[in-house]
Structure 1
Amino acid sequence: MRPPDRFRLALLAGVLAMAVGACSSTPKGRLGPSEAPVYSVRDPDGVRRQVRVNDLLVLASRDMQLGNLDGAESKARQALKLQPDEPDALVLLAGIDDRRGRTRQAGEGFRRAAELAPQRGDVLNNYGAWLCQQGRAAESLVWFDRALQAPGYATPAEAQANAGGCALDAGQPERAERDLRAALAVAPANPVALEAMAQLSFRQGRYMEARAFAERRISAAPATRSVLQLASQIEARLGDHAASDRYLQRIRQEFPQDAGS
Structure 2
Amino acid sequence: MAVSLLAAGCNRLERLSIVKPTAERGDWTQVAPDYEVSDKGRTAAPMAAAQLLASAGAAYRAGKMEQAAQQAQAALKADPAMADAHTLLAAIAIENSDQEAAGRHYQQALAIAPGKGAYANNYGTWLCSNGRAAESLSWFDKAVADPEYGTRAAALANAGTCAHRTGQLDLAEAYWRQALALEPTEMQSLAGMANLQFARARYLEARAFAERWLGIAPTDRDALQLASQIELKLGDTDASTRYLQRLQALSPGAINAPRSQ
TM-score normalised by L of structure 2? 0.75
Moved more, 144-153 or 118-127: 144-153
**Percent of pairs with identical residues:** 36
User: What is the match of residue 117 of structure 2?
Assistant: 121
Per the alignment, do residues 242 and 160 of structure 1 end up closer, same or farther by CA in structure 2, a change over 3 Å counting? same
Q: 2:97 aligns with which of 101, 120, 124?
A: 101
User: What is the match of residue 25 of structure 1?
Assistant: none
- Give, in angstroms, the shift of residue 92 of structure 1: 0.9
How many equivalent pairs are there? 235
Query: Is the 1:120–1:150 Cα contact (8 Å) retained in structure 2?
Result: yes
Q: 1:92 aligns with which of 72, 88, 92?
A: 88
Q: 2:222 aligns with which of 208, 229, 239?
A: 229
Question: Equivalents in 1 of 2:60, 2:11: separation in Å?
Answer: 18
Query: Is the 1:31–1:125 Cα contact (8 Å) retained in structure 2?
Result: no
Question: Equivalents in 2 of 1:185, 1:102: separation in Å?
Answer: 36
1:204 aligns with 2:200: yes
Question: Equivalents in 1 of 2:62, 2:214: separation in Å?
Answer: 24
User: What is the match of residue 183 of structure 1?
Assistant: 179
Q: How does 1:1-261 map to 2 (within 5 A)?
A: 1-2=1-2, 6-8=13-15, 10-11=17-18, 14-16=19-21, 29=29, 31=31, 33=33, 47-220=43-216, 228-229=221-222, 231-239=224-232, 240-244=240-244, 246-247=246-247, 250=250
Question: Equivalents in 1 of 2:61, 2:218: separation in Å?
Answer: 16
Identify unmatched segments of 5+ residues in structure 2: 3-9, 233-239, 254-261
More helix by share: 1
Per the alignment, do residues 242 and 35 of structure 1 end up closer, same or farther by CA in structure 2, a change over 3 Å counting? same
Per the alignment, do residues 35 and 167 of structure 1 end up closer, same or farther by CA in structure 2, a change over 3 Å counting? farther
Q: Choose 1 or 2 for highest CA Rg.
A: 2
SS in structure 2 of the partner of residue 189 of structure 1: coil
- Give, in angstroms, the shift of residue 51 of structure 1: 2.3
Per the alignment, do residues 9 and 139 of structure 1 end up closer, same or farther by CA in structure 2, a change over 3 Å counting? closer
Question: Equivalents in 1 of 2:100, 2:243: separation in Å?
Answer: 42
- Give, in angstroms, the shift of residue 130 of structure 1: 1.4
Question: Equivalents in 2 of 1:232, 1:93: separation in Å?
Answer: 37
Identify unmatched segments of 5+ residues in structure 1: 21-27, 254-261
SS in structure 2 of the partner of residue 10 of structure 1: coil
TM-score normalised by L of structure 1? 0.75
Per the alignment, do residues 231 and 123 of structure 1 end up closer, same or farther by CA in structure 2, a change over 3 Å counting? same
Root mean square deviation of aligned Cα? 3.4
Per the alignment, do residues 233 and 216 of structure 1 end up closer, same or farther by CA in structure 2, a change over 3 Å counting? closer
Per the alignment, do residues 103 and 48 of structure 1 end up closer, same or farther by CA in structure 2, a change over 3 Å counting? same
